[in-house]
């Protein structure tokens, strides 16, 4: 099989001295699915952004069909048939599917105006050609996250892209949505497309890819035929040591109730009820997992607990103190919170890494600030930030750089470190390992278990059922805003929980 793209001796250094890519050479073949894996900060996204024209390379050469290329911007890459779908979905919610797809390349009539009928017909034809099962006239805000991701792919196919770069394509999908995406990617491959995808999920890499390139600390470790390797071997190449994938959670020793929700309800002004009679408790030394297909009330539950959503009725308590009507800052004295949306809720991406490390701590720890958090104490905050860097293995560089300068995985590590180091009795963790590599996930899981063993009460919301089973003492299943099951983790199965997530009722054992 011929090499379609050759990236030779690629070097990238971010000022002042962070070596992101160190003499990396990799080839991508026409008509293959090629995975790029590595720890957070290994250089995966940087390598693909250089190929796509989003980042300038410091040295090296890129060949496309054997000819040197140098894309100065993504538009140049798209014109050459190379497109990229990012983790963050970049669509206009108020526009229809077809309007989003043609935006920027709209067909025009003889008067130079948008030919809406022609555009809609062209998009419908592309949907049919690639069997993407989308309604071209649906508003993007009304379709699922999985459908929105398909719209992003459709945008590139509409521009006749033959090479698709996908950055963590399953990060926003539920387990039930992933097989459909994989089927569509295989169809694209069979149609002659080349697919390059970055992933932290090694099970997906093994299932989907033809070949896999492993990066570690900016260097290429190997490119292997995926069929000839294993999840364990890939993980060891990624992190330089053996990674344990089996269950690490021993049964906890629950104590007194720390967190409770009683008769919690939330109805939208249009009458739709997102939360219906929610009742549960989390005890000291216990991890309670929450499973559910996205959109079944998980986000509303999290926002109600944190005071970001005014619920219709009900009571929320921590350590016997009712917090139902307390302001957010008062709740934060009792709750450590990791949000699923680190860019909007978990951090201020334009503030420095150090400032983000201090958030909430600066209000509670007099060593770190003066005048009720208005002035940070320089040396104390630097020491604290270095503690997070060391304890959570963050590739940080200069802590006074903007938070957005970190990779997504390293941003998540800073947020996790900040929240786990708060001395709060209750931890609310919403997708805490999303975007982390296998080594980091293993470490974070151990930290969560340590918190549990220190008698912290933990509520864990995760779209990863294996993660829930690996950590949880009990699993709650949310379906259409109701808790339809409260199960001891060791007495249920992935199959049973999956059926409850989809159907909201116990499986038929007959």
Judge if 3-239 and 256-334+424-510 fold alike in CATH terms: yes
Q: How many CB atoms lie within 10 A of CB 432?
A: 27
Q: Is the pLDDT of residue 475 over 80?
A: yes
Q: What is the mean pLDDT of residues 238-265?
A: 78
pLDDT value at position 269? 56
Q: Which of 99, 185, 119, 120 is nearest to 150 (CA)?
A: 185
Higher local confidence (pLDDT), 252 or 385: 385
pLDDT at 176: 66
Peptide bond into 16 cis (omega under 30): yes
pLDDT value, residue 135: 93
CATH numeric code, 256-334+424-510: 3.40.50.300
For 289-299, how does the pLDDT look when each residue is reduced to its tens digit (9 = 90+)? 999 877 788 88
* Residue ranges of E strands in 168-210: 194-198
pLDDT at 58: 92
Give the tens place of pLDDT for each residue, 6-60: 999 999 998 877 889 999 999 999 999 999 998 877 899 999 999 999 999 999 9
Average per-residue pLDDT for the chain: 87
Task: Residue 191: count other Cβ atoms within 10 Å of its Cβ.
Answer: 12
Q: Look at residue 284 and tell me whether its pLDDT is greater than 90.
A: yes
What pLDDT shows up at residue 509?
A: 37
The proportion of the chain whose per-residue pLDDT surpasses 90, expressed as a percent, equals: 50
Q: How confident is the model at residue 508 (pLDDT cuts 50, 70, 90)?
A: very low
In the numeric block, which tokens belong to residue 206?
Answer: 């093994």
- SS3 sequence, 420-477? HCCCCCEEEEECCCCCCCHHHHHHHHHHHHHHHHCCCEEEEECCCHHHHHHHCCEEEE
Report the pLDDT value the prediction gives residue 285, as an integer from 0 to 100. Answer: 94
Contacts of 254 (CB under 8 A, 6+ apart): 283, 284, 285, 286, 473
Q: Rounded to whole angstroms, how far apart are CA atoms 130 and 162?
A: 13
- The CATH code for residues 3-239 is 3.40.50.300
Say what the pLDDT of residue 510 is: 35
- Name 336's bridge partners: 427
- Cα–Cα nearest to 45, from 502, 406, 505, 503: 406
Strand ranges of the sheet holding 474-479, from the earlier edge strand across to the other edge:
335-338, 426-430, 457-461, 286-291, 474-479, 482-488
Indicate the pLDDT class of residue 198, thresholds 50, 70 and 90.
very high
pLDDT at 374: 65
The domain spans of the chain are: 3-239, 256-334+424-510, 343-423
Closest CA to 163 of 27, 12, 46: 27
3-state secondary structure at position 126 = helix
Contact 249, 449 (CB under 8 A): yes
Cα dist. 105→90, 99, 372, 464 in Å?
Answer: 16, 10, 53, 38
Specify the pairing of strand 335-338 against strand 369-370: unpaired
pLDDT above 70: residue 155 = yes
Higher pLDDT, 367 or 42: 42
Q: What tens digit of pLDDT does each residue of 48-67 get?
A: 999 999 999 999 999 999 99
């Amino acid at each position: 099989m011929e090499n379609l793209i050759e990236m030779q001796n690629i070097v990238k250094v971010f000022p002042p001295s962070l070596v992101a890519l160190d003499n990396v050479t990799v080839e991508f073949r026409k008509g293959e699915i090629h995975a790029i894996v590595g720890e957070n900060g290994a250089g995966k996204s940087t390598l693909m952004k250089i190929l796509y024209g989003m980042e300038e390379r410091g040295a090296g050469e890129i060949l496309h069909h054997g000819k040197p290329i140098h894309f100065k911007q993504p538009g140049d890459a798209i014109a050459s048939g190379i497109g990229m779908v990012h983790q963050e979905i970049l669509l206009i919610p108020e526009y229809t599917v077809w309007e989003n797809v043609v935006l920027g390349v709209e067909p025009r009539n003889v008067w130079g105006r948008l030919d809406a009928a022609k555009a809609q017909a062209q998009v419908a034809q592309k949907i049919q050609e690639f069997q993407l099962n989308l309604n071209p006239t649906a508003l993007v805000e009304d379709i699922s996250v999985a459908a929105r991701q398909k719209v992003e792919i459709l945008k590139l196919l509409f521009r006749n892209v033959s090479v698709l770069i996908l950055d963590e394509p399953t990060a926003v999908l539920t387990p039930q949505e992933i097989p459909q995406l994989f089927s569509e990617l295989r169809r694209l491959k069979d149609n002659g497309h080349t697919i390059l995808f970055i992933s932290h999920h090694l099970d997906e890499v093994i299932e989907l890819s033809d070949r896999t390139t492993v990066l570690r600390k900016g260097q290429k470790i190997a490119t292997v035929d995926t069929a000839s390797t294993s999840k364990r071997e890939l993980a060891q190449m990624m992190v330089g040591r053996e990674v344990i994938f089996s269950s690490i959670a021993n049964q906890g020793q629950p104590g007194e109730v720390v967190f409770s929700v009683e008769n919690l309800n939330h109805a939208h002004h249009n009458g739709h009820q997102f939360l219906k009679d929610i009742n549960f408790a989390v005890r000291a030394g216990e991890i309670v997992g929450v499973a559910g297909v996205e959109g079944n009330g998980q986000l509303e539950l999290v926002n109600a607990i944190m005071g970001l959503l005014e619920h219709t009725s009900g009571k929320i308590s921590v350590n016997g103190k009712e917090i139902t009507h307390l302001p957010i800052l008062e709740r934060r004295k009792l709750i450590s919170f990791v949000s699923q949306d680190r860019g909007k809720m978990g951090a201020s991406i334009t503030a420095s890494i150090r400032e983000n490390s201090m958030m909430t701590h600066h209000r509670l720890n007099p060593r770190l600030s003066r005048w009720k958090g208005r002035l940070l104490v320089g040396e104390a905050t630097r020491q604290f930030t270095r503690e997070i860097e060391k304890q959570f293995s963050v590739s940080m560089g200069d802590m006074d750089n903007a938070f957005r300068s970190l990779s997504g995985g390293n941003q998540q590590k800073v947020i996790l470190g900040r929240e786990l180091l708060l001395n709060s009795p209750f931890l609310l963790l919403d997708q805490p390992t999303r975007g982390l590599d296998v080594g980091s996930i293993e470490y974070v899981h151990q930290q969560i278990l340590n918190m549990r063993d220190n008698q912290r009460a933990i509520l864990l919301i995760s779209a990863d059922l294996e993660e829930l089973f690996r950590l949880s003492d009990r699993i709650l299943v949310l379906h259409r805003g109701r808790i339809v099951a409260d199960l001891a983790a060791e007495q249920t199965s992935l199959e049973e929980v999956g059926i409850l997530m989809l159907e909201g009722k116990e499986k038929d054992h007959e």
